[in-house]
């Protein structure tokens, strides 16, 4: 499987299953463990996915493989987002209506945000990015 196909398969799995593919799936797609690890490293180095310290998929932006306190819910399906910005990107990427489940950083109160017909609803607040976008990849997990 070529890197572009692997990237698509990773994203498709996040979209369909709410999380990353298993390592067994990656091995089957890539034709072996070493090939899977090498392909993941190439995608990581190209900033198309983010690997954790153990080499597992941590992010396929805007999707997160771990609970970040930012989630997107549509019907019976849900996805973890990496940050507030990504909670808006998931409904856009999947072309779905969704509720955003997170809390306001300054008050700890639940946000009251939803995406309906491609529009942000109930927005009472703002999203602030302390780090300029050009520096996000300096530490993409913390950003």
Cα angle 93, 88, 99; round to 5:
100
Please tell me the predicted confidence (pLDDT) of residue 54: 94
Rounded Cα distance, 12 and 62, in Å? 12
φ, ψ dihedrals at 24, nearest 5°: -60, -40
pLDDT for residue 50 = 96
Please report the pLDDT score of residue 66 as a whole number.
Answer: 96
Summarize pLDDT for 67-93 with one digit per residue, the tens.
999 999 999 999 999 988 899 999 999
CB 125 within 8 A of CB 111: yes
- Under a CB-based contact definition with an 8 Å cutoff, are residues 6 and 30 in contact? yes
pLDDT the model gives residue 65: 97
The domain spans of the chain are: 3-60, 71-135
Which pLDDT score is estimated for 139?
63
Q: pTM of the prediction? A: 0.86
CA–CA dist 123, 13 (Å, integer) = 30
Question: Closest by alpha carbon to 48, among 107, 114, 2, 108?
Answer: 2
pLDDT at res. 83 = 87
Backbone angle region of 122, left / alpha / beta, with phi > 0 → left and psi within -120 to 50 → alpha: left
Q: Collect the ranges in the chain with pLDDT lower than 70.
A: 123-128, 136-137, 139-143
pLDDT at 125: 66
73 beta partners: 78, 99
């Amino acid at each position: 499987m070529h890197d572009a196909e692997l990237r698509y398969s990773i994203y498709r799995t996040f979209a369909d299953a709410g999380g990353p593919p298993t390592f067994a799936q990656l091995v089957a797609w890539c034709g072996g463990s070493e090939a899977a690890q090498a392909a993941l490293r190439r995608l990581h180095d190209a900033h198309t996915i983010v690997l954790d310290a153990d080499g597992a998929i941590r992010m396929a932006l805007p999707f997160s493989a771990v609970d970040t306190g930012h989630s997107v819910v549509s019907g019976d399906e849900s996805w973890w987002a990496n940050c507030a910005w990504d909670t808006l990107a998931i409904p856009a990427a999947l072309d779905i209506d969704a509720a955003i489940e997170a809390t306001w950083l300054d008050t700890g109160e639940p946000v009251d945000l939803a995406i309906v017909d491609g529009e942000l609803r109930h927005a009472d607040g703002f999203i602030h990015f302390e780090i300029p976008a050009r520096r996000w990849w300096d530490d993409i997990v913390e950003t």
